[in-house]
Amino acid sequence: MNYQGKRYDDLLNQIQLADYLLLSARLRFALSHNVYLFVGGGNLLDSKYEQWRGFSAPGVNGFLGLRVIF
């Protein structure tokens, strides 16, 4: 979980960006002692936010992967 409060986006502190809350999760499953399957997601609350003015961040997103350790 990540909360970002209201903040300014310019040097003169005139342009304020809204606060937002992000929720992310990740799970990892051991398939063997050296092989792992992982799955996760970001922005699970589908928050609409901008980290920088004019650049909207992605909505709900996910990923899936496999890790092999030699």
Q: What digits encode the pLDDT tens for the residues 15-36?
A: 999 999 999 999 999 999 999 9
pTM above 0.75, yes or no: no
- The per-residue pLDDT of the chain, averaged, comes to 95
pLDDT-derived band at 51 (thresholds 50, 70, 90) equals confident
Number of H helices, E strands in the chain: 0, 9
- pLDDT reported for residue 38: 98
Tokens encoding 54: 């004019």
What is the SS3 assignment for 39? strand
Count of residues in the chain = 70
Residue partners of 32: CB distance under 8 A and separation at least 6: none
Place 42 in a pLDDT band, splitting at 50, 70 and 90: very high
